[in-house]
Structure 1
Amino acid sequence: MNDEEFLAEQFEAHRTHLRAVAYRMLGSLSEADDAVQDAWLRAGRAGTDDVENLGGWLTTIVARVSMDMLRSRTTRREDPLDVHVPDPVISSAEGLDPEQEVLLADSVGLALLVVLETLPPAERLAFVLHDLFAVPFEDIAAIVDRSPAATRQLASRARRRVQGAAPAPDADLSRQREVVDAFLTAARGGDFDALVAVLDPDVLMRADIGAGSGTGEVSRLIRGARDVAQQAVTFAAYAPYARPALINGAPGIVTVPDGQLFSVMGFTVAHGKVTEINLLADPDRLAELEWEPLGD
């Protein structure tokens, strides 16, 4: 086996891990795939003669590529007034497949990804690599062009923002599912009071509708139980097409009229109440998602 064949074999062995790193960095599955492909090209050009830890080396390459992609994102993604829900990972309500388990290790829910998107690229990289993948600060420092001490401060600032903004979900998935099912039952029946009862008083709904939805709706943030419940009542027309699913490993809902993915709703359930809902209904983005048809 020559060097090129060895690198190709090792890269494939690490591909799922590298995609997981890129997904946490970018919040986009398609961009994560692009970052992994770019990392493969860079690794091939660089060669592995002086590499002692191939897995760690590949991780730093895909992280560097991802940070470059973050810095060059379009104005739309950089607009702080725009509502953006990261790409969800959709799986059957029965459980994740092995590749999804790797992709979503460390409970990478939509709520966490939303917070990560508010971080500057260097902070996001320091937090993702150190806190989620245990990469030493000395290795991260070379990527962000800072000292190890300064890199540690980047991760510390990011950690404080994540802990202060990302709601911590209940640990019991079955209890989470009960709450989400109660939400769906109330929405199907147009039961406003039942919806309010299952929502935290300060619940936040983030609705990413997209410009191509054709519904006349706009992407927006909705705060408070009564306002979110009112929005959910309008969902009743689509409720017959709703199916339970796991969204980034947590109980959620997909709506699938005529076999087409119409919307994805990820829920954060804390203390037995829905504290956050992330809705993606952008048809252009939904068309690009990987998912398998779910049963009733």
Structure 2
Amino acid sequence: MVMDTWFDTAPGAMDGERRRLMNLAYRLLGSLAEAEDAVQETYTRWYAMSPRRREAVESPAAWLTTVAGRICLDVLGSARVRREAYVGAWIPDPLPDRTEWFGGRPVGGGAEAADPADQVTLDESVDMAFLVVLESMTPAERVAFVLHDVFRYSFAEIAGIVDRTPAACRQLASSARRRIGAGAEGVRPRAVPSAGQAGLVRRFKEAWEAKDIRALVGLLDPDAALTADGGGLVSTVLRPVTGGERIAQYLIHIADKAPGLKLLERSVNGRPGLVAQHTGVTVTVAAFALADDRITHIWAVRNPEKLRPWTEAQEWQK
């Protein structure tokens, strides 16, 4: 069987590879739009080759991974420059849980398969705290770490992507692990039972709805931080709000400014989170880091461009 014919015509082969690449690209870039563009560019380069050259590729899947990895490496380098000019804090795109948002979609028309958020598998490697720490890494560290520790590629395979020796790639991954161990911006990814997470987020939601500042302070770590991302498109704090008491006061201020704000418990990046809607429109998606029965960090994404998967989900639910 000709390898190229198998890859181009086998049922589900293309979708399977696209999903795998989308999972890789989102973890490398933290942006659904950038990940989708990277995957699209990967396929563009594949089909730009002549049939003879595609037939000569021993492993199309490996070829796609190498090209996608190199594209993401380039995007990460330029993204660091773009994010320096970003208005306020930059937070990775929040992901909805497909079982909540997409399960009711009608079959057919390709809408579900076309949605990039629906192609990302939710696990601990897309936890918001984890993605935030990845943002502290150099592009080469991030690519080496994600490919090796998350997707289990060998350092020999990674070497061809980042243009380093396998030994250098091993060092990059080791350096990345030290960043994970130390955390970044006071964030240390920690395993917390999901039932406990959900209960804590629910109590937080109820205290916020009741404008109970004492209860909010009790649920927040004294050194907690709140980071918001409006992208310069909507109003929000441009710097992190630090300290449990200050965060509680800020949240009460928001509730007073936006009467009728509706809070919904939703899965955000595979963890219990909150979605805030105003007049039926999703305006904020909040992810949480929790430790020792306290909230240690809140990431509030308000940039409308990052909320498209959530607003589109609302349309399907109507």
TM-score by length of 2: 0.82
2:70 equivalent among 64, 67, 75: 64
What residue is the counterpart of 2:8 in the other structure? 8
2:48 equivalent among 34, 40, 45: 45
Whether the aligned pair in 2 keeps the contact of 1:22 and 1:36 (CA below 8 Å) is yes
- What's the offset of the Cα at 1:236? 2.2
Change in CA separation of 1:38 and 1:285 when aligned onto 2, cut-off 3 Å:
same
1:33-112 equivalences under 5 Å are 33-46=36-49, 47-73=53-79, 75-78=81-84, 82-91=88-97, 100=118, 102-112=120-130
1:23 equivalent among 20, 23, 26: 26
Whether the aligned pair in 1 keeps the contact of 2:87 and 2:238 (CA below 8 Å) is no
Separation in 1 of the partners of 2:8 and 2:277?
39
Separation in 2 of the partners of 1:145 and 1:158?
17
Separation in 2 of the partners of 1:288 and 1:44?
28
Unaligned runs of 5+ in 2: 104-112
Separation in 2 of the partners of 1:42 and 1:247?
33
Change in CA separation of 1:255 and 1:82 when aligned onto 2, cut-off 3 Å:
closer
Alignment-mate amino acid for residue 14 of structure 1: E
Change in CA separation of 1:33 and 1:53 when aligned onto 2, cut-off 3 Å:
same
Listed one character per residue, the Cα deviations across residues 188-221 of structure 1 (whole Å, up to 9, x for unaligned) are 11111101111112212111123121x4x33221
Alignment-mate amino acid for residue 83 of structure 1: A
What residue is the counterpart of 2:231 in the other structure? 210
Change in CA separation of 1:151 and 1:80 when aligned onto 2, cut-off 3 Å:
farther
Number of aligned pairs?
293
- What's the offset of the Cα at 1:288? 6.3
Separation in 1 of the partners of 2:215 and 2:296?
15
Whether the aligned pair in 2 keeps the contact of 1:85 and 1:280 (CA below 8 Å) is yes
- What's the offset of the Cα at 1:4? 5.6
Larger CA deviation: 265-274 vs 77-86: 77-86
Q: Secondary structure at the residue paired with 1:274?
A: strand
Separation in 1 of the partners of 2:48 and 2:78?
23
Whether the aligned pair in 2 keeps the contact of 1:93 and 1:245 (CA below 8 Å) is no
1:147 equivalent among 120, 141, 165: 165
What residue is the counterpart of 1:171 in the other structure? 192
Q: Does 1:161 align with 2:164?
A: no
- What's the offset of the Cα at 1:258? 2.5
What residue is the counterpart of 1:126 in the other structure? 144
Separation in 2 of the partners of 1:279 and 1:4?
45
Alignment-mate amino acid for residue 7 of structure 1: F
- What's the offset of the Cα at 1:110? 1.3
Q: Does 1:233 align with 2:252?
A: yes
What residue is the counterpart of 2:109 in the other structure? none
Change in CA separation of 1:23 and 1:289 when aligned onto 2, cut-off 3 Å:
farther
Q: Does 1:116 align with 2:134?
A: yes
Larger CA deviation: 173-182 vs 222-231: 222-231
Alignment-mate amino acid for residue 79 of structure 2: R
Larger CA deviation: 96-105 vs 278-287: 96-105
Q: Secondary structure at the residue paired with 2:79?
A: coil
Identity of aligned residues (%): 37
Alignment-mate amino acid for residue 8 of structure 1: D
Q: Secondary structure at the residue paired with 1:90?
A: coil
Q: Secondary structure at the residue paired with 2:55?
A: coil
Change in CA separation of 1:37 and 1:82 when aligned onto 2, cut-off 3 Å:
same
Listed one character per residue, the Cα deviations across residues 155-211 of structure 1 (whole Å, up to 9, x for unaligned) are 111111022114234432121011001111111111111011111122121111231
- What's the offset of the Cα at 1:240? 3.9
Change in CA separation of 1:242 and 1:108 when aligned onto 2, cut-off 3 Å:
same
- What's the offset of the Cα at 1:153? 0.3
Separation in 2 of the partners of 1:290 and 1:65?
29
- What's the offset of the Cα at 1:249? 0.5
Whether the aligned pair in 2 keeps the contact of 1:246 and 1:252 (CA below 8 Å) is yes
Q: Secondary structure at the residue paired with 1:232?
A: helix
Whether the aligned pair in 2 keeps the contact of 1:93 and 1:246 (CA below 8 Å) is no
Whether the aligned pair in 2 keeps the contact of 1:92 and 1:245 (CA below 8 Å) is no
Larger CA deviation: 122-131 vs 108-117: 108-117
